[in-house]
């Protein structure tokens, strides 16, 4: 059983010390389970953060992601039956995006899964999702030969380095790209690569006893600084990456959310597999996420309705705030039949259609 309520004094001190670095830069911090803070936005730094992510290196503090380890000879087969992706094909040191779905196929939780040892996998949960994911895993675990433990309270926390200089900065600390598990000072770091679209991203699980020095050493490099959720969202929108809780929710199927990289159709049974297979092989969803291109002077906002031939056909779910070459990028949930043609969308019944759309990079076909 996963112990879910063991946030000690030492961990809270680490949380507070890391959060102090964000607060010095005028950061807004959203608190999640166990008091872990997520840096959401900094005052007047968004353009600077985006430049760091695109041209240098941004440190995205994801200590609010619960890390649940499953270890044992049946850990892989148990997890294989719980999630949509094929965890058994992961090599040690690899990471994949995945989902937990309900029996009828709708999404319950978004996950990222690391294979850390031959018989060990680490599930990284989205901020605020950890307790619910842990409860599901506990409830389904009956007799399988495995143990589950929460790593955050006493072992490690997650820090992401994003940008073209991410690997170079880690190498200075002792990281070798050929080995996921490496030493930093008196502790260890487990580093895996999972790019953010085309942008390099290194996910680091860092020992608690060295995490503050790890951050200090990373930030001592040139063209590196802290970045938050707002800047991350700008990048993911520009790369066509939907976000759980923003672009899709527990009301959606994976096919609606453009998550081909989250699901395996040939690995065998898992929770929700039958409705997914039926939809994939015999039909299509009623709704689907698409990638938008809007003129930079358009007066659009996230949540706005989209129209075609004077009929409402969907809504914008994410919208970039910073244009590139006169274009704003966005993501929208629209009727499937409208996603398949090239007709442009409008922002109002009487408005001129000005919004182009295309399939997301990982649309399920």
Task: Identify which of 320, 338, 341 has the alpha carbon closest to the alpha carbon of residue 329.
Answer: 320
Give, in words, the CATH class of 9-66+153-238. alpha beta
CB-side neighbour CA atoms (13 Å) of 225: 19
Q: What local confidence, expressed as pLDDT, does residue 8 receive?
A: 64
DSSP for 124-186? EEPTT-HHHHHHHHHHH-SS-S-EEEE-TTTTEEEEEEESTTHHHHHHTTT-BTTBSEEEETT
Burial degree of 4 (CB within 10 A; 0-12, 13-18, 19+): middle
Mean per-residue pLDDT, 177-188: 97
Burial degree of 266 (CB within 10 A; 0-12, 13-18, 19+): exposed
Q: What local confidence, expressed as pLDDT, does residue 284 receive?
A: 83
Pick the CATH number of 67-150 from 3.40.50.2030, 1.25.10.10, 1.20.1740.10, 3.30.70.1400: 3.30.70.1400
List b or e across 173-193, with b for residues whose CB sees 16 or more CB atoms inside 10 angstroms.
bebeeeebebebeebbbbbbe
Q: What is the mean pLDDT of the chain?
A: 95
Mean per-residue pLDDT, 285-313: 96
pLDDT grade, residue 3 (50/70/90)? Answer: very low
| Percent of the chain whose pLDDT exceeds 70 | 97
Q: What local confidence, expressed as pLDDT, does residue 7 receive?
A: 55
- Of 208-212, 305-309, 323-327, where does mean pLDDT reach its minimum? 323-327
What's the CA angle centered on 203, arms 199 and 206, to 5 degrees? 150
Is the pLDDT at 22 greater than 70? The verdict is: yes
Ranges of each domain in the chain: 9-66+153-238, 67-150, 286-359
Say which CATH topology domain 286-359 has: Elongation Factor Tu (Ef-tu); domain 3 (2.40.30)
pLDDT grade, residue 280 (50/70/90)? Answer: confident
Q: What local confidence, expressed as pLDDT, does residue 9 receive?
A: 67
Q: What local confidence, expressed as pLDDT, does residue 341 receive?
A: 85
Q: What local confidence, expressed as pLDDT, does residue 322 receive?
A: 87
Q: What local confidence, expressed as pLDDT, does residue 265 receive?
A: 92
The overall pTM is greater than 0.85 = yes
Mean per-residue pLDDT, 282-304: 93
What is the chain's Cα-based Rg? Answer: 21
| Percent of the chain whose pLDDT exceeds 90 | 90
Q: What local confidence, expressed as pLDDT, does residue 282 receive?
A: 78
Segment 80-128, tens digit of pLDDT: 999 999 999 999 999 999 999 999 999 999 999 999 999 999 999 999 9
pLDDT grade, residue 182 (50/70/90)? Answer: very high
Segment 126-158, tens digit of pLDDT: 999 999 999 999 999 999 999 999 999 999 999
Segment 254-268, tens digit of pLDDT: 999 999 899 999 999
What's the CA angle centered on 198, arms 303 and 238, to 5 degrees? 20
What's the CA angle centered on 246, arms 238 and 363, to 5 degrees? 55
């Amino acid at each position: 059983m996963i112990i879910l309520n063991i946030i000690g004094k030492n961990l809270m001190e680490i949380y507070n010390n890391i959060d102090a670095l964000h607060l010095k830069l005028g950061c807004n911090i959203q608190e999640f389970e166990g008091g872990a803070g997520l840096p959401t936005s900094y005052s007047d730094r968004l353009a600077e953060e985006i430049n760091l992510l695109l041209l240098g290196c941004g440190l995205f503090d994801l200590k609010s992601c619960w890390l649940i380890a499953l270890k044992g000879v049946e850990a892989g087969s148990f997890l294989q039956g719980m999630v949509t992706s094929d965890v058994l094909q992961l090599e040690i040191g690899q990471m994949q995006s995945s989902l937990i779905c309900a029996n009828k196929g709708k999404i319950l939780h978004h996950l990222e899964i690391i294979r850390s040892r031959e018989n060990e996998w680490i599930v990284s949960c989205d901020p605020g999702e950890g307790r619910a994911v842990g409860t599901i895993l506990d409830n389904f675990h009956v007799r399988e030969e495995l143990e589950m433990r929460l790593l955050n309270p006493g072992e490690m926390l997650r820090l992401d380095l994003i940008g073209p200089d991410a690997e170079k900065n880690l190498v200075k600390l002792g990281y070798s790209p050929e080995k996921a598990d490496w030493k930093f000072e008196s502790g260890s770091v487990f580093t895996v690569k999972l790019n953010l679209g085309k942008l390099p991203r290194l996910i680091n699980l860092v020992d608690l006893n060295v995490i503050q020095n790890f951050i200090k050493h990373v930030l001592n490099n040139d063209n590196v600084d802290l970045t938050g959720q707002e800047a991350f969202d700008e990048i993911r929108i520009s790369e066509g990456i939907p976000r759980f809780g923003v672009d899709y929710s527990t009301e959606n199927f994976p096919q609606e959310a453009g998550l081909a990289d989250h699901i395996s159709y040939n690995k065998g049974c898992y929770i929700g597999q039958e409705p997914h297979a039926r939809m994939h092989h015999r039909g299509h969803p009623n709704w689907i996420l698409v990638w938008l291109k809007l003129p930079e002077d358009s007066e659009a906002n996230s949540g706005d309705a989209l129209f075609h031939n004077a009929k409402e056909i969907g809504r914008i779910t994410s919208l970039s705030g910073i244009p590139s070459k006169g274009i704003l990028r966005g993501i929208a949930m629209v009727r499937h039949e409208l996603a398949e043609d090239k007709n442009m969308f409008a922002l109002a019944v009487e408005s001129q259609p000005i919004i182009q759309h295309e399939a997301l990079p990982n649309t399920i076909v």
